[in-house]
Amino acid sequence: MKLVIVESPTKAKTIGKFLSADFQVESSFGHIRDLPKSKLGIDVEHNFEPQYVIPTKARKTVGKLKKEAEKAETVILASDEDREGEAISYHLKQALGLADPKRIVFHEITKSAIENALKNPRDIDMNLVDAQQARRVLDRLVGYKLSPFLWKKIMGGLSAGRVQSVAVRLIVDRENEIRAFKPEEYWTIIAKLLKTGVGELEASLTKINGKSLEKFDIKNKEAAEKISEDLKTREFAVVKVEKKEANKNPFPPFITSTLQQEAVKKLGYSSKKTMFIAQRLYEHGLITYMRTDSVNLSQEALIAAKRWLGENLGENYASAAPRVFTGKSRLAQEAHEAVRPTDIYKSADELEDESDKKLYRLIWQRFVASQMPAAKVAMTSVEISAGPYTLKANGQQIIFDGYLKIWPQKFSEKDLPPLEDGEKLDLKDILPAQHFTEPPPRYSEAGLIKTLEENGIGRPSTYAPIISVIQLRNYVQKEKGRFSPTEIGEMVNKVLTEHFPQIVDISFTAKMEENLDQVADGKERWQQLIGDFYGPFEKNLEEKYVEVAKTVVEEKTDQVCEKCGKPMVIKFGRFGKFLACSGFPDCKNTKQLKKEPPKEIGMICPKCGQGQVVERRVSRGRARGKIFWGCSRYPECDYASWENPLGKTATGDNNDGKKEE
């Protein structure tokens, strides 16, 4: 008997369908060894040796796998094809005492992929293991060394993380830009023009006396009105008509970051929910591996796409296939395929779960569209003169939809009446419009992922955990789909920026990621990488314990403690402000601050039919800080839901999209 070990029961079940009775497939239920939670778990005096333990919840699984491994003639480790998966295989080898296990990898769970992997086993790649181990050790050193500093200098319950702190800094920096922003006024002028008996068009003023207008050239109402009045006295004539065709090319198939970004935009899914569903689709054999930064596609997939397009849409839509993309990220970690369906003939309508159906359809459409021809657009540009003024009108029409047939995009077609050079036009109206510059927008989840990726912060597997943890720790909050820092988040960022600038430095963090890539490629020793970082970090930390004074995180109030008579103060906790007695620790009286009324969502309670459904936040327990919806008549009515009854995204976004167990 041959024993195959994978990470999850779902994956085990799917793989088991493709193997003969000679194979037994078991699951490790994820990692079976980890650093201990109760202590640092790293011997900094002896080459940063990790002190791994088997967590209590994994002990029963390890015992079972040991027994099965002893009976097996061969043990095959089939965890995912990335650093995390390689580390899981390594820890299985160590914990189970395996002498010579076979390691197989595949990027899709299909019969052919599994059979091919079994024909080509390899050894565990220790370079990948070392890269994952280096990241784990690095993050543990930062978190377990820096967090106590924050407890002492700000307040208890805080935490610092090597990558999460950079994400918080990005959000704080953007908020500071918004606060410092001063709007500037500018004006634009549009002329409504007529071609007698044919139609009208709108033309924008672009030049005066042959000089192109800059954004702020028309600064105020007076200047705009003066130009408008002058334009009313002029004759309008067509100077030049230009017509051309332009191609609108399809996007590459999904990589992890673009999948997360599009799922936020099109489906309203958080990155955490997207990866949760994608993991499920992968383990059921429906899509290729979802943690990837490669846009490569296999020959089999390219051929299948061309065949499907020819059979279902016709040769016009199959002519571009196969289309090969080479825009691989400079940050690429492993050479996987792009995210795509394993079987192009598998329809989303065949899936039962609605969330699975939506995400699978998105992946399917993106893959198929990537193999389709460009959309062809007819572009018309008209230049119009009016004395010293030059105006422009533009029109565009789709003449062949190409990939847009499968991947719809917002595209506003605009018709212009037929015009010829020298033709006179009548003036219908002049429309001056006032504008003000706007501050940069707060980060959406899609925008933050894009910025992290562009700056080399994190890797495909880390975007969702980063975004999840900074919300869970209440360093940032999400309102109307966009992130803003909390007061606690700004305090922590201020301390880290002033005293540990490397930790929140974007270029330093990106460089560290590149160094981890060097470890994965076998070009750098992981202990050397950690040592170069830890020495200066530890020295600076020791100095800051002495230099930095405790931050005062309380505000005075005119309220008096009813228990001891001392003044009450506003203090900051992990989940916001609260009232506390200034006589602490002698008096431990605390009270909640008066809260704003819960936000109504415009729906009558489906349970009692009397109250309004309101958005609330859990105030205690493991789910503290999570968003839920309940009846405004609570406790008379106990209606509650983790899912928005209107199907919209929560103001604070639970970031998982599934019911809390």
DSSP 185: E
Average pLDDT over residues 163-191: 95
Proportion of the chain above pLDDT 90, given as a percent: 75
Instruction: Show the DSSP H helices in 216-372 as ranges.
Output: 221-231, 256-262, 271-283, 299-312, 315-318, 354-370
Looking only at the bridges linking them, the beta strands covering 199-208 and 389-400 are: antiparallel
pTM of the model: 0.81
User: Do residues 483 and 443 lie in contact, with contact meaning Cβ atoms separated by under 8 Å?
Assistant: yes
Q: pLDDT band at 196, cuts 50/70/90?
A: confident
> Looking at residue 653, what is its pLDDT?
41
Average pLDDT over residues 408-419: 89
Least Cα distance to 500 among 457, 456, 448, 539 occurs for 539
The larger pLDDT score, comparing residue 265 to residue 458, is at 265
DSSP 48: T
> In this structure, which long-range contacts are made by residues 569-574, counting pairs with CB atoms below 8 Å and at least 24 apart in sequence?
571/155, 572/155, 572/487, 572/488, 572/491, 573/155, 573/157, 574/157, 574/158, 574/473, 574/474, 574/488
Beta-carbon count within 10 A of 534 CB: 19
Q: Does residue 154 carry a pLDDT above 80?
A: yes
Least Cα distance to 461 among 86, 12, 55 occurs for 86
| Cα–Cα distance for residue pair 584/553, rounded to 1 Å | 14
Taking each continuous run of H as one helix and of E as one strand, the counts in the chain are 17, 23
Beta-carbon count within 10 A of 442 CB: 21
CA 120 and chain centroid, separation? 35
> Looking at residue 655, what is its pLDDT?
37
Tokens of residue 548, six digits: 């930095």
> Looking at residue 535, what is its pLDDT?
94
Least Cα distance to 202 among 426, 434, 394 occurs for 394
pLDDT digits (tens, 9 = 90+) for 557-594: 888 999 988 998 888 766 667 888 988 888 988 888 77
Residue with tokens 């994994």: 58
Q: pLDDT band at 334, cuts 50/70/90?
A: very low
289 is catalytic: yes
| Cα–Cα distance for residue pair 105/401, rounded to 1 Å | 39
Average pLDDT over residues 336-360: 95
User: Do residues 28 and 87 lie in contact, with contact meaning Cβ atoms separated by under 8 Å?
Assistant: no
Q: Does residue 633 carry a pLDDT above 70?
A: yes
Q: Does residue 392 carry a pLDDT above 70?
A: yes
| Cα–Cα distance for residue pair 448/171, rounded to 1 Å | 8
CA 567 and chain centroid, separation? 45
CA 547, 553, 559, 561 dihedral sign is: negative
Average pLDDT over residues 206-223: 95
Task: Return all residues near 251 (Cβ < 8 A) that are at least 6 apart.
Answer: 258, 366, 369, 370, 407
Mean pLDDT, all residues of the chain: 90
| Cα–Cα distance for residue pair 573/508, rounded to 1 Å | 30
CA 163 and chain centroid, separation? 14
Average pLDDT over residues 422-440: 95
CA 24, 27, 31, 37 dihedral sign is: negative
Q: Which domains does the chain have, with CATH numbers?
A: 2-124 (3.40.50.140), 133-180+441-547 (1.10.460.10), 185-249+375-436 (2.70.20.10), 256-370 (1.10.290.10), 554-591 (no CATH), 596-661 (no CATH)
> Looking at residue 660, what is its pLDDT?
26
Average pLDDT over residues 460-484: 89
Average pLDDT over residues 639-643: 86
Beta-carbon count within 10 A of 415 CB: 10
Q: pLDDT band at 621, cuts 50/70/90?
A: low
Q: Does residue 461 carry a pLDDT above 90?
A: no
- How far CA 467 is from CA of 163, 449, 458, in Å, comes to 10, 8, 11
Q: Does residue 137 carry a pLDDT above 70?
A: yes
> Looking at residue 556, what is its pLDDT?
81
Q: Does residue 410 carry a pLDDT above 70?
A: yes
Q: pLDDT band at 5, cuts 50/70/90?
A: very high
> Looking at residue 651, what is its pLDDT?
42
Active-site option among 52, 289, 317, 443: 289
Q: Does residue 331 carry a pLDDT above 70?
A: no
Task: Return all residues near 32 (Cβ < 8 A) that are at least 6 apart.
Answer: 54, 55, 58, 61, 62, 65, 88, 91, 92, 95
Q: pLDDT band at 304, cuts 50/70/90?
A: very high
Q: 268: alpha, beta or left, given left = phi > 0 and alpha = psi -120 to 50?
A: left
Average pLDDT over residues 67-82: 94
> Looking at residue 624, what is its pLDDT?
59
